[in-house]
């Protein structure tokens, strides 16, 4: 969140990223590691306001913090995916020094909950990454490492900051890169200009090409961008999305999927130059949200899970194509402190059709349905 947006009740596998890329799979048709289709699930901002921290304390019986129950509603979708990517927007505190908006320091126990839900990696580049300076970056990445969740977008060292999160699914090597539009005017920590990756087109393209050269079959770019509380993608999102998806090397796109966060509301999915762009997935976990006009805005607790099925290329060196694109509408119920899969809730008889349908209209507002985007279960 930028300073102009108020939010919340009180306001708004275990390796470091310096690891070498996974080894190459066997050739197509050659044994157990022959390439096969795989699913990738992605979700939006995890933003623990004070209300969320208090709920996690209550769920732990007052002894520590337990965020696992909050995410149980989406655990079936996340855990069943071959790969699952989240967005950890905030920095972690320690020893009970935890705060919500405007300067976030979240309990590190949330990293365990992300792993227990089935997330393999998180983007950590956001406008709140530097809320507690270099110490916050160190604690956040250390907790994710301990939980076995890989990460991209920030770093404790220059090498880590530049490195993708390397993942493996379906015999494919997947590189996740992550960037943010800014840091709420917080300067980089002294001597650490690499602490968080800033969103620059040339940098993103260069990093994507470097990942491809290092052996990435699929390159996923997470971007913290857009205008808060705006359902439609803004000019920068549209122009940068167009530029990034148009970038290619020897006829092969440099980037295979773009995942957007930050706006706090669901935004459209769109296929641009043959590549899927999610402009904004909305919030997955957040307190009661106050918009730019000072009003409580329920859209701030709405979001989507994106699910993309990648199919292997017909020939070596070809592109892994998305053969199926889906979105699953979700809602964070601040009264119960639980994430809800709205399709599952509707099937169970809950009166959530209006919220589900509103999210669906926004997601499909740029014609993604014509390119095959469907509602998933």
Give the H/E segment covering residue 70: helix 68-71
Q: At 192, phi and psi to the nearest 5?
A: -130, 65
The pLDDT of residue 5 is above 50: no
The pLDDT of residue 132 is above 80: yes
pLDDT at residue 316, rounded to an integer: 86
pLDDT at residue 13, rounded to an integer: 36
Average pLDDT, the chain: 93
pLDDT at residue 22, rounded to an integer: 61
d(CA 323, CA 343): 22
Where along the chain do its domains lie?
Answer: 38-375
Question: Of 262, 275, 204, which Cα lies nearest the Cα of 233?
Answer: 262
pLDDT at residue 33, rounded to an integer: 64
What integer is the mean pLDDT of 236-261?
Answer: 98
CB 290 within 8 A of CB 297: yes
pLDDT at residue 17, rounded to an integer: 52
The pLDDT of residue 15 is above 80: no
Q: Which of 30-34, 178-182, 279-283, 287-291 is the least confident region?
A: 30-34
d(CA 298, CA 153): 29
What integer is the mean pLDDT of 252-267?
Answer: 98
pLDDT at residue 317, rounded to an integer: 86
Q: What is the pLDDT of residues 269-328, one digit of tens each?
A: 999 999 999 999 999 999 999 999 999 999 999 999 999 999 999 888 899 999 999 999
pLDDT at residue 19, rounded to an integer: 56
Token code pair at residue 87: 């967005």
The pLDDT of residue 62 is above 70: yes
CB 148 within 8 A of CB 14: yes
Q: At 203, phi and psi to the nearest 5?
A: -65, -45
d(CA 227, CA 313): 36
d(CA 129, CA 92): 9
What integer is the mean pLDDT of 181-209?
Answer: 98
- CATH superfamily to which 38-375 belongs: Metallo-dependent phosphatases (3.60.21.10)
Q: Which residue has better confidence, 92 or 26?
A: 92
What integer is the mean pLDDT of 248-269?
Answer: 98
176 beta partners: 165, 220
Question: Of 157, 82, 70, 156, which Cα lies nearest the Cα of 106?
Answer: 70
What integer is the mean pLDDT of 137-164?
Answer: 98
275 beta partners: 272
H helices, E strands: number in the chain: 10, 17
Q: Which of 3-12, 60-69, 109-118, 292-301 is the least confident region?
A: 3-12
pLDDT at residue 23, rounded to an integer: 57
pLDDT at residue 10, rounded to an integer: 33
pLDDT at residue 34, rounded to an integer: 84
């Amino acid at each position: 969140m930028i300073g102009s947006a108020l939010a919340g009740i009180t306001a708004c596998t275990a390796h470091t990223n310096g690891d070498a890329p996974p080894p190459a799979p066997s050739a197509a048709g050659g044994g157990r590691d022959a390439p096969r289709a795989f699913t990738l699930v992605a979700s939006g901002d995890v933003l623990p306001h004070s209300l969320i921290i208090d709920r996690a304390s209550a769920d732990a019986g007052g002894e520590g913090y337990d965020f696992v129950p909050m995410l149980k509603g989406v655990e079936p979708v996340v855990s069943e995916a071959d790969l699952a990517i989240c967005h950890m927007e905030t920095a972690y505190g320690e020893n009970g020094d935890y705060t919500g908006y405007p300067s976030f320091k979240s309990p590190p126990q949330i990293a365990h909950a992300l792993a227990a839900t089935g997330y393999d990696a998180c983007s950590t580049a956001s406008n709140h990454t530097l809320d507690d300076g270099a110490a916050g970056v160190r604690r956040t990445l250390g907790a994710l490492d301990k939980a076995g969740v890989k990460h991209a977008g920030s770093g404790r060292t220059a090498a880590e900051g530049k490195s993708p999160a390397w993942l493996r699914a379906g015999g494919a090597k997947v590189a996740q890169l992550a960037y943010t539009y800014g840091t709420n005017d917080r300067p980089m920590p002294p001597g650490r200009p690499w602490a968080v990756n800033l969103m620059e087109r040339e940098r993103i393209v260069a990093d994507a090409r470097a990942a491809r050269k290092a052996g990435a079959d699929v390159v996923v770019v997470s971007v913290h961008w857009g205008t808060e509380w705006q359902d439609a993608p803004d000019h920068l999102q549209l122009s940068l999305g167009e530029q990034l998806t148009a970038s290619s090397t020897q006829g092969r796109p440099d980037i295979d999927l773009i995942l957007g966060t930050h706006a706090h509301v669901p935004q459209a999915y769109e296929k641009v130059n043959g590549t899927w762009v999610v402009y904004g997935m909305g919030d997955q976990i957040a307190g009661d949200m106050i918009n730019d006009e000072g009003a409580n805005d329920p859209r701030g607790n709405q979001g989507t899970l994106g699910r993309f099925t990648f199919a292997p290329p017909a020939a070596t060196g070809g592109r892994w194509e998305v053969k199926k694109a889906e979105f699953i509408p979700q809602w964070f119920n601040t009264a119960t402190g639980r994430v809800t899969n709205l399709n599952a809730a509707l099937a169970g008889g809950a009166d959530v059709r209006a919220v589900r349908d509103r999210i669906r209209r926004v997601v499909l507002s740029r014609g993604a349905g014509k390119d095959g985007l469907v509602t998933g279960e």
